[in-house]
Structure 1
Amino acid sequence: MASNSITALFRPDEFFGEHSNEEAALGLPLGIVCIYSLLSAVAGYQMAALMAPMYDVALEGYGGVITIFGAIGGFIGGIIVWIVASVIFYLISMAFHGEGSVKKVLEAVGYGMAPLIAAAAIGIAYLVMIGDQVVAPVIHDIMDPTAVEQATELFLNQPVMADFTLLQTFLSVVFMIWAANIWYYGIRHARNLTTRDAGITVIIPVVIYLIIVIASYGVF
């Protein structure tokens, strides 16, 4: 199983070509998705824990609830990425008369999420290192949207969090490009597409996603 993952990571064309005529095996891809989702849960917990002191006055005693929701949201988010990406690739490839099953697409997308595990792990490690340097502005009135917005901006714009935002942007771009390379070959073989059609199916959604990510992080 480990050799399968390594081949999919570094020689995706060879890997998916060899398995193109086999039934979809979701065991390992699902494991990859679960690992990514668990790491996303940890990251969600970390961010929620860092932000929880902001609500100590307005929502006294609810810090634990906030962190739990952060973890749950992170885990569910990881699963959603897998499902949504698979649906998008499947629907776009329908325009090119793709022939493979939804399960084959889920399999390919699951393998392609392996690089995202590294991105999540690096982000978690960085948050561990900077955790004691983060200052959380206190929100006194949760019903005041202006106060909440200002406190959130202060939290995110402090130097240590600004550096984290930049790191996240960099990681998102680099590892998503790696994932897209795996998805390209995976979808091409899973749906029996031409090189051009597979490129359109995968590259366009990924480019749109990266533009949104970079723009939302305020890089440009």
Structure 2
Amino acid sequence: MNPLIDPDEFFGEKMKRGIEWRYPALTVLLVGIIGAVSAYIVAELVIRAIMPELPPDATAIARIAPIFGAAVAVFMAFFMWFIYTAVFYVLSSFFGGEGEFKRLLQFTGYGFIPQIFSSLITLFLLRYTLSGIDFSIENPELFQQTLMSDPMMKYAAIVSMIFLIWSANIWMFAVKHARKMEMKQAALTVGIPIGLYVLYQIVSFIFLVE
């Protein structure tokens, strides 16, 4: 059994055991590491392009920007793990959910497994896109529009949404078991915030590419 194939049975079995953090934390860490690689690549290319224009006293700071960006990416993966869990915990309380926060935190971690595949695909598409981007563009907004208007980045955005919906499917069963809820209430608990986030991403993407 695993949460990708049969999350209902998977979490049902996990409820019979004690709380363990190794695999959920490893899952989130892998997402963070892949995100860190993406952040490092982008920052490295940008810094390399603008380095000749920087004053001497700013070059030392600029050189550590890729490392800082990578560290932030890892931190954000764990931060989002906590935020997703907190949102699910609060919303499920309105639907009569019961159960420990740490159990929900454990189960939510497994829902990040699809994000590993999503991050890998996005990394590949991003690397391909960056190879054809003109980093001499000085206007940050113009650079962002140029990047997001690339067909590969459109594909990356679509892929991210598809895998997020896959994660949401896992999270529904995670909430159902961790918070001892009916499936309908668990679906609302996960569907409301994820649906709003997907809608926000779609609107933001439309405005960026216009």
TM-score, L = length of structure 1: 0.84
> What amino acid is the match of 1:182?
I
1:16 to 11, 20, 24: 11
Query: Any conservation in 2 of the 1:44–1:71 contact (CA below 8 Å)?
Result: yes
Query: Any conservation in 2 of the 1:47–1:70 contact (CA below 8 Å)?
Result: no
What is the alpha-carbon distance in structure 1 between the residues aligned to residue 74 and residue 137 of structure 2? 27
Listed as ranges, the matches of 1:75-114 within 5 Å are 75-114=74-113
What is the alpha-carbon distance in structure 2 between the residues aligned to residue 173 and residue 9 of structure 1? 17
> Deviations 1:102-125 (Å, cap 9, x if unpaired)?
111111110000000111111112
Query: Any conservation in 2 of the 1:48–1:67 contact (CA below 8 Å)?
Result: yes
Matched, 1:218 2:189: no
> What amino acid is the match of 1:71?
A
> What amino acid is the match of 2:90?
L
Match of 2:193 in 1: 205
Match of 2:178 in 1: 190
Query: Any conservation in 2 of the 1:50–1:134 contact (CA below 8 Å)?
Result: no
Match of 1:144 in 2: none
Match of 1:174 in 2: 162
Match of 1:51 in 2: 46
> What amino acid is the match of 1:126?
L
What is the alpha-carbon distance in structure 2 between the residues aligned to residue 159 and residue 55 of structure 1? 17
Query: Any conservation in 1 of the 2:39–2:70 contact (CA below 8 Å)?
Result: yes
2:32 to 32, 37, 45: 37
- The alpha-carbon deviation at position 48 of structure 1 amounts to 1.4
Match of 2:121 in 1: 122
Equivalent position SS for 1:197: helix
Equivalent position SS for 2:4: helix
Query: Any conservation in 1 of the 2:92–2:179 contact (CA below 8 Å)?
Result: yes
Matched, 1:165 2:160: no
What is the alpha-carbon distance in structure 2 between the residues aligned to residue 132 and residue 40 of structure 1? 18
> Deviations 1:142-167 (Å, cap 9, x if unpaired)?
xxxxxxxxx12222233686224312
133 and 160 in structure 1: CA distance in 2 versus 1, 3 angstrom threshold: farther
Percent identity, aligned pairs only? Answer: 28
Give ranges in structure 2 of 5+ residues lacking alignment: none
Give ranges in structure 1 of 5+ residues lacking alignment: 140-150
| 4+ aligned runs moved over 4 Å, structure 1 | none
Match of 2:68 in 1: 69
What is the alpha-carbon distance in structure 2 between the residues aligned to residue 116 and residue 74 of structure 1? 14
What is the alpha-carbon distance in structure 2 between the residues aligned to residue 16 and residue 87 of structure 1? 19
